[in-house]
């Protein structure tokens, strides 16, 4: 939770600095977001590739394990589509793109801004990216705070699905504590797989 609040703080600081740039008539390089995006993608590859348990996970994969990330993806996209019925401003594909962040707020928000700028314009693309950032941060915070209740009422796999892509890092300790140490492998495998789908799903839904 602390890490999420730090991210929100940096986001607010960025907004204030951006406002200052506008007032001072300072223009940032137009391709700056692209370089930030490339850096984030590189970081994703490093974090997954450097995981000491990656080899063990890959050699121990069982078809049944795929049901957990599949449930996360299907459930998230289904409810994201349903949310579009209540939000008239954004299309169903916009809502699906936002939901496709799976709590990976930093990558999904920048990717959405980059991909939607041409079709929506700078202002609306930034607004959509901001919604993605806040929605996915809230998902992580809810996973961190709600894990005891999820385990109690929905079972030990529930917080793993709720945590989305964060189950391989930030939410792993709280999941381990309440779901049990035997769920560590499942949580890491789930997090890695969901993490890898973020750029593909976000890019796909942003293309509409």
The answer as to whether 11 is a domain residue is no
Residue whose structure tokens are 């314009």: 121
Closest CA to 115 of 94, 139, 136, 138: 94
Reduced to 3 states (helix: H, G, I; strand: E, B; else coil), residue 89 is coil
| Domain residue limits at 82 | 31-206
For 113-128, the pLDDT digits (tens) are: 999 998 999 899 999 9
| pLDDT band of 93, cuts 50, 70, 90 | very high
The reply to whether 9 falls in a domain is no
Q: What is the pLDDT of residue 106?
A: 82
Whether residue 1 lies inside any domain: the answer is no
Give the pLDDT confidence score for residue 31 in this predicted structure: 60
4-27 mean pLDDT: 63
Q: Which residue has the tokens 């980059």?
A: 114
Q: What percent of the chain has pLDDT over 70?
A: 73
Question: Do 159 and 150 meet the contact criterion of CB atoms below 8 Å apart?
Answer: yes
Residue 92 pLDDT exceeds 90: yes
CB–CB of 145/138 below 8 Å? no
Tell whether the torsion through CA atoms of 95, 96, 99 and 104 is positive or negative.
negative
SS3 79: helix
Asked if residue 102 is part of any domain, the answer here is yes
Sign of CA dihedral 49, 156, 139, 86: positive
How many independent structural domains does the chain possess?
A: 1
And the tokens for 146? 């709600």
With 70 as the cut, is the pLDDT of residue 139 above it?
A: yes
Across 183-207, average pLDDT? 91
∠174-178-181 over CA atoms, to 5°? 85
Q: Is residue 17 part of a domain?
A: no
Rounded to an integer, the average pLDDT of 31-36 is: 61
Q: Answer yes or no: is 4 within a domain.
A: no
Is 8 a domain residue?
A: no
Residue 173 lies in a domain: yes
């Amino acid at each position: 939770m602390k890490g999420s609040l730090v991210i929100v703080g940096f986001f607010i600081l960025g907004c204030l600095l951006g406002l200052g740039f506008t007032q001072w008539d300072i223009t940032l390089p137009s391709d700056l977001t692209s370089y930030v995006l490339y850096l984030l993608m590189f970081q994703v590859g490093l974090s997954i590739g450097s995981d000491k348990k990656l080899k063990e996970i890959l050699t121990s994969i069982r078809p049944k394990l795929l049901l957990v990330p599949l449930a996360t993806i299907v459930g998230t996209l289904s409810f994201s589509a349903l949310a579009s019925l209540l939000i008239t401003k954004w299309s169903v594909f916009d809502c699906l793109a936002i939901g496709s962040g799976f709590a990976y707020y930093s990558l999904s928000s920048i990717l959405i801004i980059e991909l939607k700028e041409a079709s929506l314009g700078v202002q609306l693309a930034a607004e959509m990216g901001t919604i993605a950032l806040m929605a996915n941060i809230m998902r992580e915070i809810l996973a961190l705070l709600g894990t005891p209740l999820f385990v109690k009422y929905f079972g030990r796999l529930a917080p793993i699905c709720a945590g989305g892509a964060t189950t391989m890092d930030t939410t792993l300790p709280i999941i381990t504590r309440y779901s049990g140490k035997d769920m560590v492998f499942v949580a890491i495998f789930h997090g890695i797989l969901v993490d890898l789908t973020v750029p593909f799903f976000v890019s796909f839904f942003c293309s509409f």
